Amino acid sequence: MKIIIDRFNGKEKYQKEYTLTSEEIAGKTLLSVLLLIKQTKDITLNFTASCRSAICGACAVRVNGHSYLACDTKMEELLKEYDNPDTIRISPLGNFRVISDLIVDWEPSIENLRKIRPTIVPKSEFSPEKGCKQTQAEFDRISKQWDCILCGSCASECNKLAADSSDYMQPFVFTHAWRAADDSRSNDPVIHVKPSVANGLWMCVHCQECADRCPKGISAADDIASLRVMAQRKGLKDGTGPAHAEAFYTDLVDGSGRLNEIYLALRSEGVIGSVGKTDIAFNLMLAGKMNPLHIFGEEEIEGHEDLVKMIKAAQAAASKE
């Protein structure tokens, strides 16, 4: 079969094609195939790899536009996923600056990790003599986030980063922020939450690509949602994002149970911010997506009273945790 690899020599991008037999691919991982190409066909090919045990995260690449951890991806399963094609394309991770071939620049991501202070400041009750302990249940709350190996697969497929990375950090950064903030040993979760809010926490577009592509089954989207809840509880409510969330809650609990599109922009961005969106509102009305009569209120959804009771019960239970 043919393997096309997107290359970069520091000045120009180009493609290089390699032909491998079925015997050369049989029983190998994606990383083993890359090593085979470098060792027997093209010594100039550059990529990163280290542990070969799905621990270090260094070998993540894209195949046919989707990210994979190369050492943990069996070629047989990979090809089956794409209906056993005659050709596949291997590329560097998306949403990263390419340095050489399949090698990308991690320094901006490391800088973002520094912003959210991924190490914890322990509570004053801990000491070298007493230790810094937590219960099994407290550890279990954050154990999944500890599995993140910083492979970059989630960031590679993030649609928000693809559209505009200037006001948003990589999904795995928010995962580590939540892991530190939710750690029962942390003296001050806000030192992790506040920089998350300042660096795009409310800009996630909910595409779920981060959860879909993570080789460890971590959902950065869930961690972002949890950080948002914590931010609200800690009083970090300024901005369009928190106001937007509050508008949803208002309509769900205090309103009819349906999102009132007429009031949504006003509640989220205020009168001045909503003025520039009148053309969008007009188009929504023409398309039947927004009913101007709803400014006077809507009929409650069926079972709304029971829904509110469940929400209130969940809030009461959460407050006791």
User: Does residue 193 share a domain with residue 109?
Assistant: yes
pLDDT given for residue 245 in this prediction: 78
Distance CA 133, CA 177 (A): 20
User: Does residue 297 share a domain with residue 225?
Assistant: no
Comparing 276 with 16, the larger pLDDT belongs to 16
Report DSSP state, residue 203.
G
How confident is the model over 45-60, as pLDDT tens digits? 999 999 999 999 999 9
Q: How many CA atoms lie within 13 A of 171 on its CB side?
A: 34
pLDDT at 180 over 60: yes
User: Does residue 58 share a domain with residue 21?
Assistant: yes
User: Does residue 225 share a domain with residue 110?
Assistant: yes
- In three-state secondary structure terms, 126 is coil
Q: For residue 9, give the CATH number of its domain.
A: 3.10.20.30
Instruction: Kindly report which listed range (24-28, 146-150, 273-277) carries the lowest average pLDDT score.
Output: 273-277
User: Does residue 217 share a domain with residue 123?
Assistant: yes
Q: How many CA atoms lie within 13 A of 50 on its CB side?
A: 7
User: Does residue 67 share a domain with residue 26?
Assistant: yes
Bridge partners (DSSP) listed for residue 62: 67, 91
CA 223 to chain centroid, in Å, comes to 8
pLDDT at 72 over 80: yes
Percentage of residues of the chain with pLDDT beyond 70: 89
pLDDT given for residue 136 in this prediction: 95
Given 234, 258, 275, which residue is the final one in a domain?
234
User: Does residue 168 share a domain with residue 96?
Assistant: no
Comparing 58 with 257, the larger pLDDT belongs to 58
User: How sure is the predictor about 268, in pLDDT bands with cuts at 50, 70 and 90?
Assistant: low
Read off the tokens for 317.
Answer: 């239970």
Distance CA 201, CA 229 (A): 11
What range does the domain containing 273 cover? Answer: 240-318
User: Does residue 110 share a domain with residue 80?
Assistant: no
- Look up the pTM and report it: 0.85
pLDDT at 107 over 80: yes
pLDDT given for residue 269 in this prediction: 66
What are all long-range contacts of 170-173, with beta carbons under 8 Å and residues at least 24 apart?
Answer: 170/95, 170/109, 170/112, 171/204, 171/210, 171/220, 171/221, 171/224, 172/109, 172/148, 172/210, 172/220, 173/109, 173/112, 173/113, 173/115, 173/116, 173/199
Instruction: Kindly report which listed range (137-141, 177-181, 223-227, 271-275) carries the lowest average pLDDT score.
Output: 271-275
Instruction: Kindly report which listed range (139-148, 219-228, 249-258) carries the lowest average pLDDT score.
Output: 249-258
User: How sure is the predictor about 111, in pLDDT bands with cuts at 50, 70 and 90?
Assistant: very high
- In three-state secondary structure terms, 140 is helix
User: Does residue 139 share a domain with residue 179?
Assistant: yes
> Which of 238, 229, 217 is CA-nearest to residue 189?
229
In the chain, the amino acid numbered 295 is: I
pLDDT given for residue 156 in this prediction: 98
Q: For residue 119, give the CATH number of its domain.
A: 1.10.1060.10
User: Does residue 52 share a domain with residue 34?
Assistant: yes
Count CB neighbours of 189 within 10 A. Answer: 20
Comparing 317 with 116, the larger pLDDT belongs to 116
Distance CA 124, CA 26 (A): 56
pLDDT at 317 over 70: yes
pLDDT given for residue 293 in this prediction: 64
* Structural domain count, the chain: 3
pLDDT given for residue 311 in this prediction: 85
Comparing 126 with 115, the larger pLDDT belongs to 115
User: Does residue 229 share a domain with residue 119?
Assistant: yes
Calculate the average pLDDT of the chain.
91
Residues of 137-167 as b/e, b for ≥16 C-beta within 10 angstroms?
Answer: eeeebbebbeebbbbbbbbbbbebbeeebee
In the chain, the amino acid numbered 119 is: T
User: How sure is the predictor about 221, in pLDDT bands with cuts at 50, 70 and 90?
Assistant: very high
User: Does residue 141 share a domain with residue 45?
Assistant: no
pLDDT given for residue 270 in this prediction: 63
Q: Is 256 left (phi over 0), alpha (psi -120 to 50) or beta?
A: alpha
